[in-house]
């Protein structure tokens, strides 16, 4: 299979490398572009279209077709935009612990009020269009199945996230043209926005209509804490 892996907030393409190695060892082709605003020298003042633009451009420049497009977390917004713009190229969409956008709603509309307040405070404090995560939140809510040392190592490698891509309402015009071949991959210990009423699955995953549901042990960052299992689940979620 051919995979295009789209990262989530605060991440970038190179953080997929552990998963990439396992997929490539199994004989698959893997692409890991970086979203706009997350490159090392990128302007942080980008909206959702600006964030998705490098993903779409990468696919066009490399003439990628018949690929499984996987989006992690916030990356659900990015793969949805890419699929709307390139519906004839995507073999299957896989939402991995991901947001599934609804027209006219932004990411900040899909998270608990206390998290939205915390992000707003971070944006005001930084004043450069970006937001960051406090380490205790990262450690307990995102990286809860990894070691403290690994959590700190990855945290130090994260990049500030463009806040405008969290507040920009999703434009899903054209979604009806996307072939309805969807999977949702749900880690059982995913707790970055808390489970229950605010959990992404099944609250947001059900927006896909008919979809393949794949579960796996692990946290929101299982791609880094258990890349081998993540790669196997990508193959399962991406199969025909």
- Residue 194 has what pLDDT? 87
Q: Which residue has tokens 């890991």?
A: 32
- Residue 125 has what pLDDT? 97
- Residue 35 has what pLDDT? 98
- DSSP of 94-153: EEES-----TT--GGGGS-HHHHHHHHHHHHHH-SSEE---HHHIIIIISTTS-HHHHHH
- Residue 141 has what pLDDT? 97
- Residue 230 has what pLDDT? 98
- Residue 220 has what pLDDT? 98
- CA dist 48 and 9 (Å) reads 12
**Residues in the chain with pLDDT values less than 50:** none
For the chain, domains (ranges, CATH) are 2-238 (3.40.50.1820)
- Per DSSP, 219 falls in state -
What region does 194 belong to: left with phi over 0, alpha with psi -120 to 50, or beta?
left
Model confidence pLDDT, tens digit, residues 140-150? 999 999 999 99
């Amino acid at each position: 299979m051919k995979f295009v892996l789209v990262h989530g907030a605060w991440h970038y393409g190179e953080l997929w490398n552990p998963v990439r190695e396992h997929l490539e060892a199994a004989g698959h082709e893997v692409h890991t572009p970086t979203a706009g605003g997350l490159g090392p020298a990128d302007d942080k003042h980008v909206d959702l279209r600006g964030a998705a633009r490098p993903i779409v451009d990468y696919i066009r420049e490399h003439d990628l077709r018949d690929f499984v497009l996987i989006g992690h977390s916030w990356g659900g917004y990015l793969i949805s935009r890419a699929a709307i713009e390139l519906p004839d190229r995507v073999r299957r969409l896989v939402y991995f612990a991901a947001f599934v956008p609804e027209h006219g709603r932004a990411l900040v509309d899909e998270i608990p009020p206390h998290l939205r307040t915390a992000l707003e405070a971070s944006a005001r404090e930084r004043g450069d269009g970006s937001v960051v995560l406090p380490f205790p939140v990262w450690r307990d809510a995102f990286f809860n199945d990894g070691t403290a040392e690994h959590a700190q190592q990855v945290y130090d490698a994260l990049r500030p996230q463009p806040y405008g891509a969290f507040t920009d309402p999703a434009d899903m015009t054209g979604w009806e043209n996307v072939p309805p071949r969807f999977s949702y991959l749900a880690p059982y210990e995913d707790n970055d926005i808390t489970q229950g009423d605010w959990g992404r699955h099944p609250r947001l995953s059900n927006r896909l209509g008919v979809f393949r549901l794949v579960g796996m042990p692990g946290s929101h960052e299982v791609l880094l804490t258990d890349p081998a299992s993540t790669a196997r689940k990508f193959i399962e979620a991406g199969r025909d």
